[in-house]
Structures are given as C-alpha cells and as structure tokens.
Amino acid sequence: MAMGAFLATGCVAGFLAGLLGVGGGLIIVPALVTTFEVIGFPPEHLLHIALGTSLASIIFTSISSLRAHNERGAVQWTTVKGMAAGLVLGTFGGAWLAARLPSLGLKWFFVFFAYLVAAQMLSGFKPKPSRQLPGSGGLACAGGLIGTISAFVGIGGGSMSVPFLTLCNVPMQAAVGTSAALGLPIAVGGLAGYAFNGVGLNNLPAYSVGFVYLPALVGIVLASALVAPLGAAMAHRLPVARLKQCFAGLLILIASRMLYSLVA
C-alpha cells in the first residue's frame, strides 16, 4: 500500500515537472506527510522525513531537467557557478536549522509558502527587469537565501530563482533553464543536511538514512522518471496559463488541508 502511494506521488510530481517545469516538492511533501501518518511514523519527525526525502528525489528530476535545457542552450552556467556554493551552504544550513525545529512550526511555514506560490501563479505576477545580475558576492548571498527557504519547504527553488533571475534581466527561457540547473545544488545540500542531521536518532523508521526514507525515494524517482516525458509532451499541446491556474488551485487545496489539520 505504501509503495503504491509513493509511486502515485512520483507520477503526479513527474507529470507536473514535465508539464509546468516545477520540481514537485510542493506536491511531494504533503503527499508524503499523509502517507507517513497512515504508516505511523513518529509525529515529531514526520515532516522532517518528508522534507529530506523530497529534496533527495529532486536530485534526479533536476539532472534530467537541466540536461534537456542545456541541450537547448538555455542554462547560464556562469550564474549557476556563482550561486552554487551559496545554494549548497544555505540548504545545508536550512536543513540543520529545520531539524531542530518542531514539525508544527515547519507546517505553518509550508502552508504560508504554498499560499504565496499559489497567489503568484493566479495573479500571473512577473517582476519587471530592473537591474543586472549582481557580482559573485551578491549571487552567493541570493543562493544562500533561496537555499535556506528551499530546505524549509522541500523544493528545488524554482518559484524563487526564476523571479530573481527575471528581475535581473535574464530572459525567461534562460531563467527557467538556469533555475533547473540551480535545483541540483539545492537538492544536494538538502539531502546532505537532512541525512546528516537525522543520523543517530533512535526512533526513525527502518530503511532511513537520517531524515531520508529510502523506499519512498525509490518509488518517487522511478515513477517520476517514467512520467515526466509525458508531461513534457503535453506541455506543447495544452494551455500553460490555464494549467498553472489549475496547479495553483491544487496548491490552495493542499495548503488548506494542512491548515485545517493545524487548527482543528
């Protein structure tokens, strides 16, 4: 039963990744939380395991995505190199901090962030290019901030890195492609942070490496790898703007369900 839920989560996340270019973390995390609750994982670490497993899965989806964008020349590798160290350190540090926070606080942060992303998608807000990319220090700082927030919600950072890049006069196609590449250092830092900070805890489920639950990781990765090409093919046939509105509606439902569980 649990593996079926992990495979289904991977299918949805992979389809959305191919269709809309999102990493799927905002879908994976609440789906894993629900499944882990049914299985009976320890509640004090339930969200930490979901966040760590989500970021681990993004390593594989980001590699596939960045290769596709790189073949089209849409990745600005100079920008990636400038932000990579900040992203890894920020995500690792964010995971270190998140591991020491109660799941309740992390759930409130996730709900707020999901509502924020949904509002941005529904409004169609895009920052007007108003500046150039900062120097190496500015890129590292931006990477650190994006990485830290990504660790708190288990995502690849695209909902933050794309607006940042477009604000800095990076063309949209290059911003999306570069964001796909930036997801890899985010995922690596997050995986390392959540795996390391969960080592030694006695009440974690079997087959876990720190806060990364291997059966869920395998199920999500296998399913998403198979389904992502289907989503990419459909992206050229369906209205992207309407699909983003539907995804925003789904995020609102997910966030509202988690909010209800917090206040009920």
- H helices of 72-213, where? 77-98, 103-123, 136-153, 158-167, 172-198
The whole-number pLDDT of residue 232 equals 65
User: DSSP states of 65-81 as a string?
Assistant: HHHHHHHTT---HHHHH
What is the CA 259 to chain-centroid distance, rounded?
A: 20
Report how far residue 34's alpha carbon sits from residue 54's, in angstroms, rounded to the nearest whole number: 14
Q: Which amino acid, residue 234?
A: M
Domain extent at residue 29:
2-263
Question: pLDDT band at 112, cuts 50/70/90?
Answer: very high
Q: Considering only 90-99, 128-137, 223-232, which range has the smallest mean pLDDT?
A: 223-232
Could you tell me which of 75, 81, 55, 80 has the C-alpha nearest to residue 220?
A: 55
Query: pTM for the whole thing?
Result: 0.88
55, 198 contact by CB (below 8 A): no
Number of domains in the chain: 1
The mean pLDDT value for 46-71 works out to 86
pLDDT in tens, 195-242: 999 988 888 998 999 999 999 999 998 888 788 777 766 766 777 677
Q: Which two tokens stand for residue 58?
A: 């993004």
